[in-house]
Structure 1
Amino acid sequence: MLKIGITGQAGFVGTHLYNTLGLHPEEFERIHFDKGFFLNQHQLEQFVSQCDVIVHLAAMNRHNDPKVIYDTNIELAQKLVDALESTKSRAHVIFSSSTQEERDNEYGKSKKVGRELLYNWSQRSGGKFTGLIIPNVFGPFGHPNYNSVIATFCHKLAHNETPTIAVDSELKLIYVGELVEVLLSEIRNANSKAEMIVPYTATAKVSEILHVLEKYKSEYQDKGIIPEIHSTFELNLFNTFRCYMDIATHFPVSFVEHTDDRGSFVEIIRLGVGGQVSFSTTVPGITRGNHYHTRKIERFAVIKGKALIQLRRIGTDEVLDFYLDGDAPSYVDMPIWYTHNIKNIGDEVLYTNFWINEFYDPNDPDTYFENV
């Protein structure tokens, strides 16, 4: 079993990599990292000494003074080199650099110099080194005004603000989940590569991205419509946008119920994508679910009985409770990377409609069990 440590474990890419490694407990052991380790040589050395693989993601991306960015990133790389040398480590170090290396800015320069420092260590020590040159990364839980323009746009739109475009450039992009798969591949292959260009998976102008996200805001957040999705890139954009909404206040969403002397009619979902619709009955006191998805879009609609739907983002402790009642039909959508369940808290059988955007595939279920 490989012991994996991630500097920058709590950051944007680090969180996704850490959580994904947790899906393979038979293959990987995660060695905990805290950013305070860089301030304590003994703790950093203790961390390094436990690791077969170290993915060095810790870096500063933004600061008012570019020199602070440069100095900070070089210092982090040098401290890691010092710890590797003092522990006589021969770990496989995977370094995340950036296509910014090509540009004349302090961040790009710092990543290039940091990559060279760690490569030189590997040559001296007999350790392994992989230097990844990574394009623009986007995905759920990135920090607005820091990680990417997509994070900024999603945050602003989801909170009813108006994004602005500074420069309408064409971006070369990779979804964070796709980048994690590249990292896992390099961990498993264990090959040294002084420089490896990570291919981008999509290109789009900033204005084109904003247009698509505005559509998601209008159709999904404002009207509850699952929008038409034409590509994997658009699916990744949609799942990214959903994670910037204030889930705790947005759900549950009440349906519009049309009633006459025959009874009532409720429209469950409008969608521009296909998928699978199902329903379940649940006897009182029973809980279903306690699992999460990393790509699927899912809606739970309670049409009869009383239910408690709970959500918790993986890696966090806060549990969101939503109480639904078939007397006032409503729904809750499941964001990716949120474990969720549904419990019958009433005295009668609970009837729930489920919609998911893809057919169930037992060979690729995208379903991971974890109690809320």
Structure 2
Amino acid sequence: MIKIGITGQAGFVGTHLYNTLGLHPDEFERIDFQKSFFDNEKSLDIFVSQCDVIVHLAAMNRHNEPQVIYDTNVGLVQKLTQSLIKTKSKAHVLFSSSTQEERDNLYGKSKKEGREMMISWAKNAGGKFTGMIIPNVFGPFGHPNYNSVVATFCHKLAHGETPTIDVDGVVRLIYVGELVTAILKEIRSGESDEELSVPYTAEAKVSELLNLLQNYKTGYQDNGEIPAINTTFELNLFNTFRCYMDIATHYPVKYVQHTDPRGSFVEIIRLGVGGQVSFSTTVPGITRGNHYHTRKIERFAVIKGKALIQLRRIGTDEVLDFYLDGDEPSYVDMPIWYTHNIKNIGDEILYTNFWINEFYDPSDADTYFENV
């Protein structure tokens, strides 16, 4: 069992890493970190002394005063280094640096100097150190106007605002899930690498990113259509966009019913991708689901009966309740990293139509059970 602590545990990358470690309870033990530890030497020392691996993600990315960024980031490394020395730690420290190391700005300078301080500690103390040079990271739950241009565009489009492009340059990107996979690979290897360049997995002009996201806004958010998805990058971008929508007010989405003396006709879904369609019957009082996905796109459509669909983002306590009635057929889509269930709350059998964008594969199910 490897004991892992993450400085910046509550941040964008930290949250994804922390939650992913939780999927491997037989391999990893998570040592809890709180931001306040950096202001309390005793708390920081206790944290450091418990860890076999420390992933140092805590940092400031943006501020109106660049000097504040520099001072903050260098100061955090100094505090961590002092604690490592004081506790005589032999932990494997993985350090999150940036491709901006070589740029003429104080953020890049703070990252480079921080990495060099950690290299010095490892050499003097006999510790292990991996300095990861990371490209631009995007993914669900990043903060707009802070973490990435993707986060900013997604937030603005999903909330009815109009994004603007300052410089239409080419950006090199890595999805946060891919970065987490790279971090886990280094943890498992246990090897030091003072300057490890993490390769980007996609590149695009800023205008190309915006065009894709605008299509997701008009096609998916406004009209409920699942877009054509041609690459893993487009799947990751689409799943990222979905997480910026105001889920609590967007769902359930009612279908258009076409009725005549014969009965009614309802179009369930329009697809630019394939996948698997199924339906279920559920007797009164029974709940299905209580699981989440990290990459799959899924839609629940209630066509007969009364249902309660519940969603909760992993790592949070807020539960979203959606009431659906087959008399007015409607659907709810399941965002990634949201555990979800569906319960028959009526007196008759519940009929539900399910669509998911990939066939079920027991060896790679991407289905993790957790009660809502």
Normalised TM-score (structure 2): 1.00
Aligned partner of 1:170 in structure 2 is 170
Shift of 1:47: 0.3
Unaligned runs of 5+ in 1: none
Q: For 1:54 and 1:205, locate their aligned partners in 2 and report how far apart those are by CA, in whole Å.
A: 35
SS in 1 for 2:137: strand
Matched letter for residue 130 of structure 2: T
2:204 corresponds to:
204
In 2: Cα distance, 1:256 partner to 1:232 partner: 32
- SS of the residue 1:363 aligns to: helix
Q: Amino acid of the residue matched to residue 189 of structure 2?
A: N
2:318 is matched with: 318
Match of 1:369 in 2: 369
Query: 2:43 — aligned with what?
Result: 43
How far apart are the structure 1 equivalents of 2:321 and 2:102? 48
State the SS of the aligned residue for 2:241: helix
Alignment of 1:240-259 (within 5 A): 240-259=240-259
Q: C-alpha distance in 1, partners of 2:40/2:186?
A: 29
Shift of 1:341: 0.1
What's the RMSD between the two structures over aligned residues? 0.3
Matched letter for residue 187 of structure 1:
I
Partner AA of 1:290 in structure 2: N
Between the aligned partners of 1:328 and 1:60, the Cα distance in structure 2 is 48
Once the two structures are TM-superposed, the CA of residue 259 in structure 1 deviates from its matched residue by 0.4
Render the CA deviation track for 1:114-163: whole Å, top value 9, x for unaligned: 00001110001111000000000000000000000000000000000000
The reply on whether 1:286 has 2:277 as its aligned counterpart is no
- Secondary structure at 2:364's aligned position in 1? coil
Q: Which amino acid in 2 is paired with 1:216?
A: Y
Q: What are the residue-to-residue correspondences of 1:43-62 with 2, within 5 Å?
A: 43-62=43-62
Give the Cα separation in 1 of the matches to 2:180 and 2:205.
Answer: 24
What pairs with 1:107-256 in structure 2 (closer than 5 Å)? 107-256=107-256
Alignment match, 2:98: 98
Amino acid at match of 2:154: C
Structure 1 segment 13-24 matched on structure 2, within 5 A: 13-24=13-24
Q: Displacement, 1:77? A: 0.3
AA paired with 1:197?
S
Report the Cα offset of residue 53 of structure 1.
0.1
Spell out, residue by residue over 1:263-307, the C-alpha distance to the aligned partner (whole angstroms, 9 max, x if none).
100000001000000000000000000000000000000000000
Answering whether residue 2 of structure 2 is matched by residue 2 of structure 1, we say yes
In structure 2, the residue matched to 1:271 is 271
Q: Deviations over 1:143-192 (max 9, x none)?
A: 00000000000000000000000111100100000000000000000000
Q: How far apart in 2 are the matches of 1:359 and 1:192?
A: 39
- In 1, the alpha carbon distance for the partners of 2:253 and 2:206 equals 31
Deviation at 1:102, TM superposition (A): 1.6
- Mapped to 2, the partners of 1:262 and 1:98 lie a distance apart of 63
- Percent identity over the alignment? 80
Map 1:66-85 → 2, pairs under 5 A? 66-85=66-85
The equivalent of 1:302 in structure 2 is 302
Q: In the aligned structure 2, how far is the partner of 1:126 from the partner of 1:344?
A: 59
For structure 2, list consecutive stretches of 5 or more residues without a partner in the other structure.
none
Which amino acid is the alignment partner of residue 208 of structure 2?
E
Q: Which AA in structure 1 matches 2:123?
A: Q
For normalisation by structure 1, the TM-score amounts to: 1.00
Report the equivalent of 1:349.
Answer: 349
Structure 1: 4+ residue segments shifted above 2 A: none
CA distance in 2 between counterparts of 1:33 and 1:316 reads 16
Q: Hey, what's the Cα distance between the residues in 1 that align with 2:168 and 2:61?
A: 21
Aligned counterparts of 1:275 and 1:251: Cα–Cα separation in 2: 22
CA distance in structure 2 between the aligned counterparts of 1:253 and 1:367, rounded to whole angstroms: 24
Count of residues in correspondence between the two structures = 372
Q: Which residue of 2 aligns with 1:330?
A: 330
Q: What is the alpha-carbon distance in structure 2 between the residues aligned to residue 39 and residue 207 of structure 1? A: 42
